[in-house]
Amino acid sequence: MNSKTPLKLALDIVMIVLFVILLDAFGTGLVFHEIAGLLIFVLFMIHIIFNWSWVKNVTKNLFNPGFKKKAKLMYILNAALLIGISAIIITGILISQVIFNFGANGNNHILVAVHKWVSYACAGLLAIHLAVHWRYILVSVRRTSAAFEGGKIRRTIETLGAAALLLVVLYSQIMPSSDEVAQNTVPPKGSSQDTITTRRIDSSKNSGVYDQDYTILQDTQAGTAVTVSLSDYLGNMFCTACDKHCPLLSLKCDRGNPQLQAAKIQYQKLYS
């Protein structure tokens, strides 16, 4: 059995499981979603490197009438996955709210829709990939299990186990910070906070009207002032009333109004 087979098999399993988990972006948290999304791209490139000799061989014979049709099908399938995952990564970076925060770009609903539907399409391609390779996967699992007593196989499993443990620890550290992104203006516990003043900015003298409430908090221990606006507080909150997940600051329908009002009430409780 090829010494790379167990590693390639484990790599594909991790990549597919991680991809399925990431389909629920708001269930896993945006921080984990963005970091793990970049990780999937790295894993997919490693997958291509491991199979580079096969890629070169099929590329040379892609238009050869006598070449195996199944190999051509797999080549096209992998090429489609590469294009799809690249599109997911690019749109993900453009709509990023955490790692690559481009501000207004996060509200681009066209990019969000492309990111979401290309992800679903890639999930379907992965399912086809599994179906085509099902027999190969079963044979590889049996051979790996039979050779488990070998030192190389054991070391490979131990290495993958350590990597999985590292991912679990990283996930446990990332998830609390994901909550902090949505409420990064909450004062730290243990410090006394005194509201100095609440002022209202009215620019109605201009062509448009722009009113916004600001609450200035004084940390009496650190001696520093923090300005928190309602838009800053709501900036990283999203509606969960439907699958569009519109930002609370730019709702496209009335379904998210109850959540918006609840968030405003929570803001008043925290900063009034």
pLDDT at 32: 85
pLDDT at 142: 72
What average pLDDT does range 255-260 have in this prediction?
Answer: 84
pLDDT at 161: 64
The tens digit of pLDDT for each residue in 28-60 reads: 778 888 888 898 889 888 888 988 888 899 898
The residues pairing with 193 across neighbouring beta strands, listed in sequence order, are 219
150 compared with 155, residue with greater pLDDT? 155
| pLDDT value at 121 more than 80 | yes
Q: Is residue 196 within 8 Å of 218, Cβ to Cβ?
A: yes
List the chain domain ranges.
5-182, 193-271
pLDDT at 188: 41
Most confident of 20-24, 77-81, 99-103, 249-253: 77-81
3-state SS string for the chain: CCCCHHHHHHHHHHHHHHHHHHCCHHHHCHHHHHHHHHHHHHHHHHHHHHCHHHHHHHHHCCCCCCCCHHHHHHHHHHHHHHHHHHHHHHHHHHCCCCCCCCHHHHHCHHHHHHHHHHHHHHHHHHHHHHHHCHHHHHHHHHHHHHCCCCHHHHHHHHHHHHHHHHHHHHHHHHHHHHHHHHCCCCCCCCCCEEEEEEEEEECCCCCCCCEEEEEEEEECCCCEEEEEEHHHHHCCCECCCCCCCCEHHHCCCHHHHHHHHHHHHHHHHHHC
CA distances from 192 to 180, 217, 218 (A): 20, 10, 8
pLDDT, averaged across the chain: 72
pLDDT at 152: 56
Tokens representing 247? Answer: 């930002």
pLDDT at 214: 41
CA distance linking residue 35 with residue 54, whole number of Å: 30
pTM: 0.55
pLDDT at 137: 74
Confidence of residue 109 (pLDDT cuts 50, 70, 90): confident
Least trusted range by pLDDT, from 38-47, 119-128, 138-147, 260-269: 138-147
Sign of the torsion formed by the C-alpha atoms of 143, 144, 150 and 152 = positive
Tokens representing 45? Answer: 């490139």
- Fold classification of 5-182 is Fumarate Reductase Cytochrome B subunit (1.20.950)
